[in-house]
Structure 1
Amino acid sequence: MSKYEDTLFEQGHISNHILKNRYMVAPMTRVSSEEDGTPNERVHQYYKRFAVGSFAAVITEGIYPDTAYSQGYEYQAGLATENHKEAWKPIVADVKKHGAKMIAQLMHAGAQSQGNFYKDQSVGPSPFQPPSDKVSVYGGEGAFPVAEELSKEGIEQVKQGFVQSAIFAKDAGFDGVELHGANGYLLDQFLSETINERQDEYGGSVENRLRLLLELIREVRKAVGENMIVGIRISQLKATNPHFRWSGGEEDARVIFTALGQSDVDYIHLSDDDATTPGFGEGTMTMTEAARRFSSVPIISCGSLADPKKASTLIENNVADFIAIGRQALANPDTPLRVQQGLPLSEFNKEGIMLPKAYVKDFELEQELIED
């Protein structure tokens, strides 16, 4: 193997878990479960193929954690009920049987919800309407509604939902949970000064806007114990506002990543358009570099890292510990095997993506689905 291939296939560690290489499958929106959020055989086969393809870890799509306001899309998978938990068990077992770790990404959509089996209203840290229209490939159309502001009691209910879902994940056999604090969903909404206009202890300064994330990390860790992985995903960009950046730039990054690094998380997962470009303006650090500088936990980098040489550079330079790929994994579910054997990688074909379940009539003709 070449140097970069060797780098990508060294063992890695997250907490007390050993991962066989540095490749992870990034979370990707599936909208392929049953109407009530129960994952099905279609979902099972989707995840299994990445484990068979030798990825070290598979991070699920964003899974909604409660039967109130958390769901973001119709046919989105849930981990909010006993039925959901039981349906995940064989999927998790199969992924682990093939040598991969499996991590459940827990996601509350907040104001960015465009389809909910349980509620018609959406909620957020403050009244807020996402700036772009709903995403049609996920079954939505038109403008998002204006979200209602969460009360203190509502915030507690949100936390309880995440905690219970994390317990379900542990019971279902998942190796860990990832709290979705990126891409404009609820936890990111609390962190964003242009969305969070609260006047209490959850709003105002960046330290206050971090409060919910840090409380949630602490309570989830207490619920699942020390042996289960607890991670968090962070981004500046949002699904409905890809150009958003933290107003405080690198100083906000220092406060955020220092606090997260001192919390009970086992890793920080960065989501960006391109993980190797400046995150805060010309001549600044990348998001991945900032997370590395200001925290001491393992870093997962995600964003335009399909090229193995480009991906391995982050690890060789001690900027990241793991590489998460999305579109390239869809085009090549066996990416690690191909890279290890020196085989060519197929390019991601946007025209070949798997459509949401609601639009698909022939299981055998399904292809891939775009990255979250």
Structure 2
Amino acid sequence: MTSILEQPLDLPCGAQLPNRLCKAAMTEQIAIGNRAHEGHVRLYRAWGESGCGMLLTGNVLIDRHHLEAPGNVVIDARPDADHMAALKAWAAAGQEHGAKMWMQISHAGRQTPKLINEAPHAPSAVPLALPGGQFGKPVAMEGHDIRKVIEGFALCASVAREAGFDGVQVHGAHGYLISQFLNPRANQREDEWGGSLENRARLLLETVEAVRAAVGTDFPVGVKLNSADFQTGGFSFEECRQVVAWLSEKKIDLLEISGGNYEQPKLLGIEGLQAAEDQPVRESTKAREAFFVDYAGEVRGEASMPVMATGGFRSRVAMEEAVSAGLADMVGIGAPLCTDPRGPAKLLAGEIDRLENHSKGMRLGPGFLGPNSSIGLIKMLNALGQQAWNYLAILALSEGQDVPMRMSLLQAYNRHQKRLKQQAKALSQ
């Protein structure tokens, strides 16, 4: 019997996705000099065999001074011939087995590490409330800075189409720049870009308009949006619903619902160092493995476009139930593809019933040293170590190597931190 996950999905622009599974965006952090290269080809050739009908890249940044990490690909000008060839090879690699390749485009804003920029642009001069001094004090943007960002998203999207990608996703979630504008804690402006929700959403909505104008009406354009920031006084679920209604007037093709930011990393399935503010949603979330699927279901009343839910999906049963119940049109799968790039294909073939996520079983130690520690910093170190292992697994796949199954959490964390410093040093030279 054919699974509902194997059904194609028609998009408003006229394009079609082969099935309901998406390789969700995970930052690769493998670029050399902020350029794509053969490692991206090897990585996405491997993920092209995942069985996912859509492959979504990690952050491609529109400004080299505002990176999520030093190993990001950057498109902030028309690529030269060599980089365009590398981008074309990257897109083609993911498409070899029939998947559609989409580029996620982003601007990190105040979530730019200090290693990259000690005074990054942001809506307002409000620094991240995080220990460790990894992020600098942001500088409030001028109007011309904001207009330059909108133009940057449009340019990057047009390059993605020219390079052969099948679609683009505007990253408006997870505390990056567009998400910062939506968040009243980070956006304390009193001009047309701040204050009311309509003003705070202006950057997102005008960016979507500019991207659509740059790529045409027949090219898929998606948006990633927080269901909420899960912070007191932050972007709320009710505000999310209103933004979805506005996006529905902009003719976008796929809306991905996620949540959280660096201060409250719900996207990693953990609590941050601050008390989280609960958001209203159906009680069934507690009984289901996915983090944001009920929020996706709740916004479908406002959404004229298909909706994707990402975060926490592991079992075929939960994925099928989410789609058949009308909570989501697509399911995004991330971390398990670091453990087994072919996991979803095995799931669809009935070889397995559940995806493995090796990093989630890693921990600093037993008891209070584990991921559920009552000590906030230990909890965060566990989460960051798990993420570090995923990054190193991505690096291994990009080099044609086996993923490092025997590495400890602390080894992964230290090795990843060392690599970030080396990459940042290389960029500065």
Partner Cα separation in structure 1 for residue 316 and residue 200 of structure 2: 36
Residue among 344, 347, 357 paired with 1:348: 357
Q: Which runs of 5+ in 2 are unaligned?
A: 260-265, 270-276, 286-293, 363-388, 406-411, 414-429
TM-superposed deviation, 1:128: 1.8
State yes or no: 1:70 paired with 2:66.
Answer: yes
Alignment CA distance shift 1:356-1:317 (3 Å): closer
State yes or no: 1:295 paired with 2:295.
Answer: no
Partner Cα separation in structure 1 for residue 240 and residue 399 of structure 2: 46
Partner Cα separation in structure 2 for residue 356 and residue 209 of structure 1: 37
Letter of the 1:90 counterpart: A
Q: Is the 8 A contact 2:41 2:398 kept in 1?
A: no
Q: Which residue of structure 2 aligns with residue 17 of structure 1? A: 15
TM-score w.r.t. the length of structure 2 is 0.75
Q: Is the 8 A contact 2:118 2:136 kept in 1?
A: no
Letter of the 1:262 counterpart: E
Partner Cα separation in structure 1 for residue 143 and residue 256 of structure 2: 28
TM-superposed deviation, 1:353: 3.0
- Deviation sequence 1:312-367 (CA, Å, 0-9, x none): 11110112111001012222322332112211245211155342999999863545
Residue among 319, 323, 326 paired with 1:315: 323
State yes or no: 1:164 paired with 2:155.
Answer: yes
Q: Which residue of structure 2 aligns with residue 44 of structure 1? A: 41
Alignment CA distance shift 1:275-1:257 (3 Å): farther
Alignment CA distance shift 1:207-1:287 (3 Å): same
Matched position secondary structure for 1:355: helix
TM-score w.r.t. the length of structure 1 is 0.86
- Deviation sequence 1:254-293 (CA, Å, 0-9, x none): 31111111123111101245899x9723657932023211
Partner Cα separation in structure 1 for residue 268 and residue 9 of structure 2: 20
TM-superposed deviation, 1:148: 0.3
Residue among 249, 263, 281 paired with 1:262: 249
Q: Is the 8 A contact 1:261 1:294 kept in 2?
A: yes
Number of equivalenced pairs = 352
Q: Is the 8 A contact 2:21 2:330 kept in 1?
A: yes
Q: Is the 8 A contact 1:66 1:165 kept in 2?
A: no
TM-superposed deviation, 1:66: 2.8
TM-superposed deviation, 1:251: 2.9
Question: Kindly, what percent of the aligned residue pairs are identical?
Answer: 26
Matched position secondary structure for 1:103: strand
Q: Which residue of structure 1 aligns with residue 113 of structure 2? A: 114
Partner Cα separation in structure 2 for residue 194 and residue 101 of structure 1: 37
State yes or no: 1:95 paired with 2:132.
Answer: no
Matched position secondary structure for 1:183: coil
Q: Which residue of structure 1 aligns with residue 130 of structure 2? A: 132
Q: Which runs of 5+ in 1 are unaligned?
A: 134-140
Partner Cα separation in structure 2 for residue 357 and residue 301 of structure 1: 22
Alignment CA distance shift 1:308-1:245 (3 Å): farther
Partner Cα separation in structure 2 for residue 357 and residue 232 of structure 1: 24
Q: Is the 8 A contact 1:107 1:185 kept in 2?
A: yes
Alignment CA distance shift 1:152-1:173 (3 Å): same
TM-superposed deviation, 1:307: 1.2
194-203 or 286-295, larger mean C-alpha shift: 286-295
Alignment CA distance shift 1:173-1:361 (3 Å): closer
State yes or no: 1:59 paired with 2:56.
Answer: yes
Letter of the 2:47 counterpart: F
